Amino acid sequence: MIKRKSLEEYKRGVLDGNRVVLSQAITLVESNLESDSELAGKLVQELLPHSGKSIRIGITGVPGVGKSTFIEAFGSLLLEKGKKVAVLAVDPSSQKTKGSILGDKTRMEKLALDKRAFIRPSPSGSTLGGVSAKTREAMLICEAAGFDVILVETVGVGQSEVAVKGMVDFFLLLMLAGAGDELQGIKKGIMEMADTLLIHKADGDNLPAAKRAKSTYSNALHLFPLGENSWAPKVLVGSSQTGDGLSEVWEAIQVFQDQMIRSGWFEKNRADQRLTWLHESVHAILGKLFYTHPEVKIMLQKGEIEVQKGIKSPMTFARELTKLFFS
């Protein structure tokens, strides 16, 4: 039996900025134990009035683009500006072993040692796209602990970008130059979601290619219609090695935030995200109840073989299962 703190102990520890209790609180909300889920729900409710004051930034890009390197350099810049920074780095879990790399603390060693920063690698588990199912709760807890900037790093594959876009204020897409046709390997949909594109690793011999890539992407973005928030995405170049361009990224984020607050979009976006969180929570709770239902489990084990062999239609069997569940 895992010994947990009381609700008051978790709440006080988080509000006091106790990093140990903060980690334990996030572990609590990530737990799949029913007893933990109830306590976690109460904790999130208690911390809700103390959250919402940070800027939430999603960061994505293909593997190898240097997301962790960027986050360490960018996070260090924010610390110099007097900000407290929390990094929620979602690691890809193996679908075979369910194991996770969880190596971001190692890759962000300098940032991890600073007491004004907090790095939390979380396994994505079976969540579609590699975004932890509990990222929203973890983000809220970090805000209650007093962090000004929340950086959410995605795995950078599949649907993770869509999921993160739906829970942050600002979405940053890291790109690489010098890989042939600059528009290959990046979906139009992902570019349309980005509030700013940063051509990363723009240093040394790669700097000229990065500047050409900036021009290419800028021209491409002009072909896209503006989004609902009427923001025209920026294209910047930068290097985490030299630090060039990182201040421009932060300036773009601040301009974006100011513009969105003035227009009313900032709060509207957060309100819509809270509704999405509600519906996703309902799906998650119902899904858990469904798959742990004793009779459903027995029927599912028997029927899966017929579905695999093509004897029974998946849709037909799904209806039979749900009918049993609600009977």
One-letter amino acid at 189 equals G
Give CA–CA dist 283/243, Å, rounded.
Answer: 43
Domain shared by 156 and 290, yes or no: no
Domain shared by 40 and 138, yes or no: no
Domain shared by 194 and 222, yes or no: yes
Q: Is residue 177 part of a domain?
A: yes
By the 8 A CB rule, do 86 and 53 touch? no
CATH number at residue 94: 3.40.50.300
Write down which residue in 29, 50, 71 finishes a domain: 50
Domain shared by 146 and 230, yes or no: yes
Domain shared by 8 and 58, yes or no: no
Q: Is residue 167 part of a domain?
A: yes
Domain shared by 217 and 285, yes or no: no
Domain shared by 196 and 310, yes or no: no
Write down which residue in 234, 263, 292 finishes a domain: 263
For the whole model, what pTM was predicted?
0.88
Domain shared by 170 and 255, yes or no: yes
Domain shared by 189 and 210, yes or no: yes
| Phi, then psi, of 103 in degrees rounded to 5 | -100, 5
Q: Is residue 168 part of a domain?
A: yes
Can you tell me which residue has the tokens 């903060």?
A: 22
Q: Tell me: the pLDDT tens digits for 204-238?
A: 999 999 999 999 888 888 888 888 899 999 999 99
Q: Is residue 272 part of a domain?
A: no
Q: Which of the residue ranges 183-192, 202-211, 226-235, 255-264 has the most confident prediction, judged by mean pLDDT?
A: 255-264
Q: Starting from the edge strand earliest in sequence, which strands make up the sheet with 55-60, in order?
A: 117-123, 85-91, 149-153, 55-60, 170-175, 196-199, 234-237
pLDDT of 103 strictly over 50 = no
Q: Is residue 273 part of a domain?
A: no
How many domains are there within the chain?
3
Q: Is residue 252 part of a domain?
A: yes
Q: Tell me: the pLDDT tens digits for 14-45?
A: 999 999 999 999 999 988 888 898 999 999 99
pLDDT of 187 strictly over 90 = no
Q: Is residue 268 part of a domain?
A: no
pLDDT at 157: 54
Of 249, 231, 238, nearest to 211 by C-alpha is 238
pLDDT at 97: 36
Q: Note down the domain range covering 34.
A: 1-50
Q: Tell me: the pLDDT tens digits for 304-315?
A: 999 999 999 999
One-letter amino acid at 135 equals T
Domain shared by 166 and 241, yes or no: yes
Domain shared by 214 and 141, yes or no: yes
Domain shared by 152 and 181, yes or no: yes
Write down which residue in 14, 31, 50 finishes a domain: 50
Q: Is residue 39 part of a domain?
A: yes
Give CA–CA dist 326/323, Å, rounded.
Answer: 5
